[in-house]
Amino acid sequence: MRGGVIMAYTTIHTKKNGVKYVYSVEGYWDKDKKAPRNRQVCLGRLDEKTGEVIPSSRKTRVAKRAAKAPEVTATSKIIGPFLLLDKISHEIGLPKVLRRCFPNCHLQLLSLAYFLVQKGHALSRSEIWSATNVHPLGEVMPSQRTSELLNSITEDGRQMFFSKWMKTICAKEYLCYDITSISSYSEGNEYVRWGHNRDLEKLPQVNLAMLFGQNSGLPAYYRRLPGSIPDVATLKTTMDALDFIENKKLTFVLDRGFYSASNVDALFAAHYDFILAVPTSRIWIERIIDKHRDEIMLPDHYHVTGENESLFMLTHLHQWKGKRCYLQIYYNNAKAAEDYDAFTTQLLHLKQELETKNERSENADDYKRFFVVNETPKRGRKIMFNNSAIEEYRKKYVGFFCLLTKKKLNPFEALEFYRRKEKVENCFDDMKNQLDMKRLRIHSSQAMDARLFVQFLALILLTKVRLIIKRSKELKNLTVREVMEAMETITEIKYSGRYGSLITEAGLLQREIMAAFGLPPETLLHDSGK
The CATH number covering residue 164 comes to 3.90.350.10
Q: Are 419 and 275 within one domain?
A: yes
Instruction: Write the CA distances from 164 to 84, 269, 297, 460, 461, integer angstroms.
Output: 24, 25, 48, 14, 17
- The answer as to whether 514 is a domain residue is yes
- The answer as to whether 425 is a domain residue is yes
Q: Are 174 and 263 within one domain?
A: yes
Strand-pair category, 205-213 with 371-376: unpaired
Instruction: Write the CA distances from 188 to 8, 110, 129, 207, 442, integer angstroms.
Output: 50, 29, 31, 16, 9
Position 426 scores a pLDDT of: 72
170 in helix, strand or coil? Answer: coil
To the nearest 10°, report the CA torsion of 185, 189, 195, 199.
Answer: -40
Domain that holds residue 383: 337-397
- The answer as to whether 283 is a domain residue is yes
Helices assigned H by DSSP within 106-195: 106-119, 126-132, 143-152, 155-169
Domain boundary among 452, 485, 515: 452
Instruction: Write the CA distances from 468 to 287, 471, 484, 514, integer angstroms.
Output: 45, 5, 13, 11
CA distance from start to end of the chain: 9
- The answer as to whether 40 is a domain residue is yes
Position 143 scores a pLDDT of: 84
Q: Are 175 and 285 within one domain?
A: yes
- Are the C-beta atoms of residues 225 and 209 closer than 8 Å to each other? yes
Q: Are 343 and 420 within one domain?
A: no
- The answer as to whether 79 is a domain residue is no
Q: Are 36 and 176 within one domain?
A: no
Q: Are 390 and 407 within one domain?
A: no
225 in helix, strand or coil? Answer: strand
Position 223 scores a pLDDT of: 85
Position 421 scores a pLDDT of: 77
Q: pLDDT digit of tens for each residue in the chain (530 aa)? A: 333 333 444 556 666 667 776 665 555 566 667 666 666 656 566 666 555 556 555 555 555 555 555 555 667 889 999 999 999 999 999 999 999 999 999 999 999 999 999 998 888 889 999 999 999 999 999 888 888 888 889 888 998 999 899 888 876 678 888 887 765 544 544 444 444 444 444 445 677 888 888 888 899 888 887 655 666 778 888 888 777 666 667 788 998 889 999 999 999 998 889 999 999 889 999 999 999 999 998 999 998 887 778 899 999 999 999 999 999 999 988 778 788 888 898 899 899 888 888 887 778 888 999 999 888 877 778 899 999 999 988 888 889 999 999 999 999 889 988 988 776 777 777 776 777 665 555 556 677 788 889 989 999 999 999 999 999 999 989 999 999 999 998 988 876 666 567 788 788 899 999 999 999 877 775 443 33
Q: Are 285 and 224 within one domain?
A: yes
DSSP 8-state code for residue 369: H
Q: Are 409 and 385 within one domain?
A: no
- The answer as to whether 102 is a domain residue is no
Position 80 scores a pLDDT of: 94
- The answer as to whether 190 is a domain residue is yes
Strand-pair category, 74-78 with 491-495: antiparallel
